[in-house]
Structure 1
């Protein structure tokens, strides 16, 4: 990892008058093999309004098909490449790409040609 993803992994976040070191936030295994999350901001930090997660999908792995019944989700690709399948539509993922998953929309993400890093923002908060 280099570039913006590395900065986020080892940076800081100011929230409600306190500084959060992202280096102190551990990677958490997701429900899908080869996928890890850093929960950068959680419901407790935003009064439940939103949450932000740094997501790492290892090359050749995927966030399997799923939907969020009560959240909208925004993906901002910050490093790597892959593919998002959103309600039967394929979206190329590359740095600078964004995609919005409406509440209840089925989607999956596949890393291709290297690890994929994205910021996932949930409204309201996922955690």
Structure 2
């Protein structure tokens, strides 16, 4: 895969390059973890910034812990934290840009979770 990322036009090399950047071709555990952490942290800052404004406090009644939990639930949608701890009214009350951010976090986390699992599989594979 390393050599496949070196030949051909950029559109043919791009999937190989992305796979290498995000997971070191399936061998790294740290790279997907740190990418997930960075996406979680970015989401936490953006959501917390919204909760700090005065217009959001009466409507949502939230704090920094809620921002961290919401960002975490966006990253791991398979566990169902979003519906269990945040009601439908809470999620509907979010502004449009936070709904888009939540969707982007969810879409970005799924391949990264796969890459993390792939790295764990490679790490603990019996030889």
TM-score calculated relative to the size of structure 1? 0.26
Report which of the two has the higher share of helix.
2
Which structure has the larger Rg?
Answer: 2
TM-score calculated relative to the size of structure 2? 0.26
Report which of the two has the higher share of strand.
1
